[in-house]
Structure 1
Amino acid sequence: MTPAHTAAVLFDLDGTLVDTEPLYFEATRMLLARHGVAGFTWEEHAVFIGVGTRETLEVLSARFGLDAPVDALLAEENALYLDLLRTSTEVFPEMRALVKSLGAAGIPMAVASGSSRAAIDAALAHGGLAGLFAASASAEEVAAGKPEPDVFLEAARRLGAAPRECVVVEDSAPGVAAAHAAGMRCVAVPSVPAAPGARQDAAFEAAELLFPGGQTEFTAAAAYAWLMG
């Protein structure tokens, strides 16, 4: 699939624009500890990167036999996460540079995230990105989260852009799969790069532009040149 041009760019939020995966891990760890589950590890969290918060909690609730309804767990985790977000929101510098370059070129941009609406708005505000995106879409506003394409299709709809002319910037394998399911190209910047000598996840290898080393390898200049070329 090779669109004639890039009409719009859709950014994932957590782990792509902002370095919030450690905050989500901490919020999940705190939540589980409150409900009697100790010792939740980063390795256990990492398998859910790119998966919607509700879908993650549904799995964890079943795994650990939590008594609270998933809706209650979701509200509790969102509150914990927002408290962390208010004091520790870091935007990846090269991603900020890419957003500014695309904005200067007049390319419409949107955020499409598995986070809640409140979390999206807070991350953009505390990260100094508010007002730079013409639209945003949360997984809680669509029928299904990533790897389903719903949130990307909704973000494109809100921008008034045809999916085949949109490019997604993503850090997770489920996100790359969702972008392709939506009929969009994808720039992949893995938040958890493959170990030395190991192969990337097949979804990452299918991305139209891949930065195998993740944020340490990603540059705004290289991504911008590819997007505009």
Structure 2
Amino acid sequence: MSTSSSGPHGAPHPLARTSVVFDLDGTLVDSEPNYFEAGRQLLARHGVPDFSWSDHEEYVGISTAETLALWREKYGLTAPLEELLAEKNRRYLELAAAETHAYPEMRAFVELLHAAGVPMAVASGSSRAAITAILRGTGLDALLTTVVSAEEVEHGKPEPDVFLEAARRLGVRPADCVVMEDAAPGAVAAHKAGMRCVAIPYVAASADDPAFATAGLLFPGGQDEFTARAAYDWLVRTAPSS
């Protein structure tokens, strides 16, 4: 097995100066259906009965707390934000515990990076409890041990805070990080952080969003097009020289 410190014949591994930061929802795992259902249930209980999947798509990539703040204004919800956040997280965790799947090619990509000794982190707009439950449930917690939630930083995406904190915890420079993202706000955040980005749009219709134009590698077809080998080969091909 190779490591990030050396390659064949003792040469530096091509990814010796590369770290990878993963968004979670819609990137590593297909959790958006659970977020939609948790949000639909919450809104129905608070008098909004017709929240649809297309409505949900408008909030993909935005942290739960910021989404709920927008909903309070849009739908005239009167419950305190903290109460809504606790309710949605509780509903989501119940759904996530029952069934959340990692994308097979994304799991393979994590395994490739782990085998190469590449430092990795998860930086997500979800709560830390949700991140922990999902990583444990999918078995990815064994490979992804550095985690940053939106709760732990001042601003969520599209601000770069979660990605910059991930780099800090990994002990690496932001410029040496590559972000894996499915949503436009995350691509914007990666760009603001000074990090390269691999974009795998969750919403196919958003692939032409100007935010994704800043990505170094774009899979317009999303997870249907993404392959671990294509992403890994791109990382090697474009890696900073030592």
Q: Which of the numbers 188, 208, 228 marks the counterpart of 1:220?
A: 228
Unaligned runs of 5+ in 1: none
Query: CA contact under 8 A between 1:6 and 1:167: conserved in structure 2?
Result: no
SS at match of 2:134: helix
Letter in 2 for 1:206: T
SS at match of 1:167: strand
1:167 aligned residue: 178
Query: Following TM superposition, by how much is the alpha carbon of 1:5 offset from its aligned partner in structure 2, in angstroms?
Result: 6.3
Query: CA contact under 8 A between 1:18 and 1:90: conserved in structure 2?
Result: yes
Letter in 2 for 1:193: A
Query: CA contact under 8 A between 2:34 and 2:96: conserved in structure 1?
Result: yes
User: What is the rounded CA distance, in whole Å, between the counterparts of 2:171 and 2:82 in structure 1?
Assistant: 32
SS at match of 2:158: coil
Going from structure 1 to structure 2, the CA distance change for 1:6 and 1:214 (only over 3 Å counts) comes to farther
Q: Which of the numbers 116, 131, 134 marks the counterpart of 1:105?
A: 116
Query: CA contact under 8 A between 1:6 and 1:227: conserved in structure 2?
Result: no
1:21 aligned residue: 32
Letter in 2 for 1:218: F
Going from structure 1 to structure 2, the CA distance change for 1:34 and 1:159 (only over 3 Å counts) comes to same
1:137 aligned residue: 148
Query: Following TM superposition, by how much is the alpha carbon of 1:6 offset from its aligned partner in structure 2, in angstroms?
Result: 4.5
User: What is the rounded CA distance, in whole Å, between the counterparts of 2:222 and 2:46 in structure 1?
Assistant: 34
Identity of aligned residues (%): 61
2:8 aligned residue: none
Q: Which of the numbers 52, 55, 65 marks the counterpart of 1:41?
A: 52
Query: CA contact under 8 A between 1:23 and 1:85: conserved in structure 2?
Result: yes
Letter in 1 for 2:223: Q
Query: Following TM superposition, by how much is the alpha carbon of 1:194 offset from its aligned partner in structure 2, in angstroms?
Result: 2.2
TM normalised by structure 2 equals 0.90
Equivalences for residues 61-100 of structure 1 within 5 A: 61-100=72-111
User: What is the rounded CA distance, in whole Å, between the counterparts of 2:128 and 2:171 in structure 1?
Assistant: 20
Letter in 1 for 2:105: E
Q: Which of the numbers 177, 183, 196 marks the counterpart of 1:185?
A: 196
TM normalised by structure 1 equals 0.95
Query: Following TM superposition, by how much is the alpha carbon of 1:63 offset from its aligned partner in structure 2, in angstroms?
Result: 0.8
2:136 aligned residue: 125
1:210 aligned residue: 218
Unaligned runs of 5+ in 2: 1-14, 238-242
- How many residues were matched structurally? 223
User: What is the rounded CA distance, in whole Å, between the counterparts of 2:76 and 2:186 in structure 1?
Assistant: 28
Asked which structure has the greater CA Rg, the reply is 2
SS at match of 2:141: coil
Q: CA RMSD in A?
A: 1.2
Superposed CA deviations along residues 187-206 of structure 1, whole A, max 9, x for unmatched, are: 000001128xxx61001122
User: What is the rounded CA distance, in whole Å, between the counterparts of 2:53 and 2:100 in structure 1?
Assistant: 19
SS at match of 2:44: helix
User: What is the rounded CA distance, in whole Å, between the counterparts of 2:38 and 2:205 in structure 1?
Assistant: 25
Query: Following TM superposition, by how much is the alpha carbon of 1:131 offset from its aligned partner in structure 2, in angstroms?
Result: 1.9
